[in-house]
Structure 1
Amino acid sequence: MDQSKLEILDILEDEEQAIWIVTYADLMTLLLVFFILMYAISSLNLLKFKTVLASIQVSLGEEKPGIGLLEIVKVPEQLDQKISLADLSGLRTREHELLGDIDDLIQEKKLGKYIIAQISEGKIYIQIRGKVLFNSGAAQLNDDAKPILDKIISIIQDYVEFDVNIKGHTDNTPISTAQFASNWELSAIRATTVLKYFIDGEVNPMRLTATGYGDFLPLVANNSAENRAINRRVEFVLERETK
């Protein structure tokens, strides 16, 4: 067999051995398109979606791609925060979007000492310290509380699929007045007062519930003025409606 035929056989053998690269490249391309589609669907940003699709280059020899995934994903500025898979991929759920809006409200009003928001098991928990909403021993909303509640109403109106459970809590300091026989009555009336304010703000009453817990569910021990202030609170539990 002459030399030219041997060279042709060597080339064919090399191509057969390297054919797996084509399959691998196809798989990577499909995965890339899949994640881009998921991102586009989750964000509903059709303009960015079209831009990303237009920039996809399937040429394996290209040195500089158009738009890469790292350019699409927004990395949180505060690196000390926990970064979830949703953050890295851009696939943020409605729960995380809602929590983000609440966090924006807290930062805008500089209420980090008095309002805490977090997500757990698909539910959004918002804790508002009692003195932000009510004076000690009272169930009438402070004037300063109304703009905060108005903001919360505005946010939850954008997330109509979430029900809102309003929970009133007190510390263990005994109360016995003509209006409130115990802390349980005080906490229940406070929760109901907030519920009525939400209804006045045109929140669908079918989304709302109000419960008073008195001093039965403290966050910390009621052994100091600071701790008792923490336990005096109104909580909002936002949960996606189940059908």
Structure 2
Amino acid sequence: MSRKTQLLEENDGPGWITTFADLMTLLLVFFVLLFSMSSVENEAFEEAARSLNIALSRDSAPSSLIPLLEPAAETTRIPDPNESVIINRDAELADQMRFQQALVDSINLELEEIIQDLEGSLAESDMGSWVEIGTPLDGRLTLKVNAAVMFDPGSVAIRRSMMPLLDSILEVVLENPGFKLEVQGHTDDTPVDTDRFPSNWELSALRATAVLRFLIEGGLTPQRVVASGYGDSIPLLPNTSEENRTANRRIEFVLERMELPR
């Protein structure tokens, strides 16, 4: 064997060493890349990771050698068609609320004019001191009349002296056909237990009905008036004194629009 052939044979090593060296080189490059990208944004890191996954995989398809914990931030945002719908709905709701408030304000102005007419009519009949006129609120106006001046104790018959007061209320309602009227009967918490009035519910309801019948007989159509009895369920004041109980025994007239458009 020649000297040259002997030297070549001595330099030959195992065949796997070449593959191992290539692998170590790739790993070194891989960790150098990781280190160099330690301060870059997620988007750049993920792009590089995808490239490495493809390069190191056998079938040239993306593998999971480097897991991506979070998706890269979108560089181009696709508008959500539902956003315009939500914005439009919010705008519609805001418009509806403004319209409703404008409508209520308009009704309150009408009620202010009704108050002036009612005060003038009550002044002519000298009955103004018997009626407590409220302030228009949410398109409604409430009038309170103490039941003690309208009815005898335990009675549902309207005193004749109160007829002019009811006439003034009737006149105002007839002159404003766009409004309806609810007559509410209220009592204090003093128990009532008779054959005719088993409880305050019956007493308050029959008193409100007596007023309703007077208004209908005066020309108000039944479609525009309703009577309700609330007993002692809605007191104005705590029933802790005779003065408070007297205030709680009352008839209320609630005037409001026939219909409110939506």
TM-score bucket (shorter structure)? 0.5 to 0.7
With over 3 angstroms needed to count, the CA separation of the structure-2 counterparts of 1:220 and 1:105, relative to structure 1, is farther
Number of residue pairs matched by the alignment: 154
> Which residues in structure 2 correspond to 1:87-98 (within 5 Å)?
93-98=109-114
Q: Which residue of 1 aligns with 2:118?
A: 102
**In the TM superposition, what is the alpha-carbon distance from 1:125 to its structure 2 partner?**
0.5
Structure 1 residue aligned with 2:182, among 165, 174, 187? 165
Q: How high is the TM-score relative to the length of structure 2?
A: 0.55
CA-based RMSD of the aligned residues comes to: 1.9
With over 3 angstroms needed to count, the CA separation of the structure-2 counterparts of 1:110 and 1:223, relative to structure 1, is farther
Tell me if structure 2 keeps the 8 A contact 1:168–1:213.
yes
Does structure 1 residue 236 correspond to structure 2 residue 253?
Answer: yes
- Alignment-mate amino acid for residue 113 of structure 2: E
- Give the gaps of 5 or more residues in structure 2: 1-104
Tell me if structure 1 keeps the 8 A contact 2:127–2:164.
no
Q: How high is the TM-score relative to the length of structure 1?
A: 0.59
Structure 2 CA distance for aligned equivalents of residues 231 and 177 of structure 1: 21
> Which residues in structure 2 correspond to 1:57-68 (within 5 Å)?
none
With over 3 angstroms needed to count, the CA separation of the structure-2 counterparts of 1:105 and 1:230, relative to structure 1, is farther
Deviations 1:70-127 (A, max 9, x none): xxxxxxxxxxxxxxx99xxxxx832111111222344444545531112211111000
Deviations 1:146-173 (A, max 9, x none): 1211121111110111000110000111
- Give the gaps of 5 or more residues in structure 1: 1-84, 87-91
Structure 2 CA distance for aligned equivalents of residues 135 and 101 of structure 1: 29
Structure 2 CA distance for aligned equivalents of residues 219 and 113 of structure 1: 19
Deviations 1:12-35 (A, max 9, x none): xxxxxxxxxxxxxxxxxxxxxxxx
Q: Percent identity?
A: 38
Q: Which residue of 1 aligns with 2:207?
A: 190
Structure 2 residue aligned with 1:140, among 128, 148, 157? 157
Higher helix proportion, which one? 2
SS in 1 for 2:185: strand
Does structure 1 residue 180 correspond to structure 2 residue 197?
Answer: yes
Tell me if structure 2 keeps the 8 A contact 1:171–1:214.
yes
**In the TM superposition, what is the alpha-carbon distance from 1:187 to its structure 2 partner?**
0.2
